[in-house]
Structure 1
Amino acid sequence: MRINTNTCVQGDLVVLVPYRKEHVPRYHEWMQDPHLQETTASEPLTMDEEYEMQRSWAEDEDKLTFIILDRSKPDTPGTGSHGGGMAGDVNLFFTIDEEDGGREAAEIEVMIAEQASRGKGLAKEALRLLMAYASRELGVKRYIAKIHEVNGPSRRLFEGLGFTEFRRVPVFGEVHYGLSVGGEAGAQLRELQDGLTCASYDAS
């Protein structure tokens, strides 16, 4: 999405930066992992296809994507100096049915691809930062997470953020969770919006 082309969002554990071409080689390495392909329902792409995908995501007004940098790790070689090593990504999609809230609702997902960055709270902070940013900049009022019912860690992650189950889709083996920004569970998110730290991002 063009709105975050030159913006990074800073947290205590992570920095969210726009997905740029310099990130593609490491991202491509991640997505050769069969486990990540399965958990993200993704097909392996060639490097050229990965670059094309990155370009399309950057221009797609229905998708907001950030690369997650782990601030405890050194910068990933070839990606510039931005305060951390590549750890994963966090995404938001405007592909929600009217019954779920239309353009005021968005589907959200997160992936921590680097083994050394897992289990440290990065996914939770990245999700909170993305939701605060999208609510402030795009007016999103409700978030939806679609999770495989056997993915216990992911379900616990979203439940810990205040998401509640509202639908099951047996044919896909999915559990759908929702979080309304205006509700009691969204109180911390509203506070985070006010103190959100954004900065200019460049490719140096």
Structure 2
Amino acid sequence: MKVNENTLLEGHRVVLVPYNADHVPRYHEWMKSPELQQLTASEPLTLEQEYDMQRSWREDNDKCTFIILDKQRWADPSVEEEQCMVGDVNIFLTDPTDPTLAELEIMIAEPNYRGRGIGKEVTHMMMCYGVTKLGVKKFQAKIGLDNEVSIGMFKKLHFQEVSVCKVFREVTLEMTVDESVRTRLLDVTSFMKERDYAHTCGNRQELASQ
């Protein structure tokens, strides 16, 4: 999505940056994992196909994608950005007749970063971005039935289970963004800073310490 192609979102422990070509090789290595393929219901792609996918995520108006970076590592300018990658988070505008409906996906690809509350922080940040920048009024999360950790996280974030598809073995959870939800989102993400990605990359250490 063009709207976020130069947007950086800074949180407590993570930095969200646009998915660009430099991130593709590491992302491609992640997606060779049978575990991640199962959790994300994805098929393995060639490296060339992964580059094509990255371009579509950048260009298409119905996809908004950020790469999740470890903020502490990212603050060290001697560390390449690709080495700070933890996972990704996506918003898909799945219904052409209703641009306010968004499917939310998050993947913590690096096992050492799971179970540390990062998923919760990233989800709140992405939801806030979706509500304030994209006009999202309802979120959906479609999660494999075996992914109990993700299902539990979304339920703790007040998503409600609305259906279970036994054929695809996935559960759909939803949250409608009324005024109380919007207020709560803005409150729990009051720490988030939106920056210019290109400018920030040249001043990583200075900005991360602010």
Provide Cα deviations, 1:142-176, integer angstroms capped at 9, x if missing partner: 10001122221110010111111112222222211
- The counterpart of 1:168, out of the listed 157, 161, 164, is 164
State the match for 1:6 in structure 2.
6
State the match for 1:141 in structure 2.
137
State the match for 2:186 in structure 1.
190
Provide Cα deviations, 1:150-204, integer angstroms capped at 9, x if missing partner: 2211100101111111122222222111112216555421335666410011265
TM-score (norm 2): 0.86
Offset of 1:44 from its aligned partner?
1.2
Query: Which region of structure 1 is more displaced relative to structure 2, 193-202 or 154-163?
Result: 193-202
Aligned length: 198
State the match for 1:119 in structure 2.
115
Task: Say if 1:62 and 1:93, in contact at 8 Å, map to a contact too.
Answer: yes
SS at match of 2:73: coil
Unaligned runs of 5+ in 1: none
In 2, Cα distance between the equivalents of 1:161 and 1:178? Answer: 10
SS at match of 2:44: coil
SS at match of 1:159: helix
For residue 90 of structure 2, what is the amino acid of its counterpart?
A: N
State the match for 2:94 in structure 1.
95
Unaligned runs of 5+ in 2: 203-210
Question: Which residues in structure 2 correspond to 1:1-204 (within 5 Å)?
Answer: 1-73=1-73, 78-79=80-81, 85-96=84-95, 102-182=98-178, 184-192=180-188, 196-202=192-198
Poorly superposed stretches of 4+, deviation over 6 Å = none
For residue 118 of structure 2, what is the amino acid of its counterpart?
A: L
Percent of paired sites with the same residue: 45
In 2, Cα distance between the equivalents of 1:143 and 1:118? Answer: 23
In 2, Cα distance between the equivalents of 1:92 and 1:18? Answer: 13
In 1, Cα distance between the equivalents of 2:135 and 2:116? Answer: 29
SS at match of 2:28: helix
Offset of 1:109 from its aligned partner?
0.7
CA 1:148–1:186: 2 relative to 1, 3 Å: farther
Offset of 1:71 from its aligned partner?
1.8
CA 1:97–1:166: 2 relative to 1, 3 Å: farther
Offset of 1:26 from its aligned partner?
0.7
Task: Say if 2:124 and 2:189, in contact at 8 Å, map to a contact too.
Answer: no
In 1, Cα distance between the equivalents of 2:13 and 2:108? Answer: 13
Offset of 1:130 from its aligned partner?
0.6
CA 1:195–1:118: 2 relative to 1, 3 Å: closer
TM-score (norm 1): 0.88
SS at match of 1:49: helix
Query: Which region of structure 1 is more displaced relative to structure 2, 44-53 or 137-146?
Result: 44-53
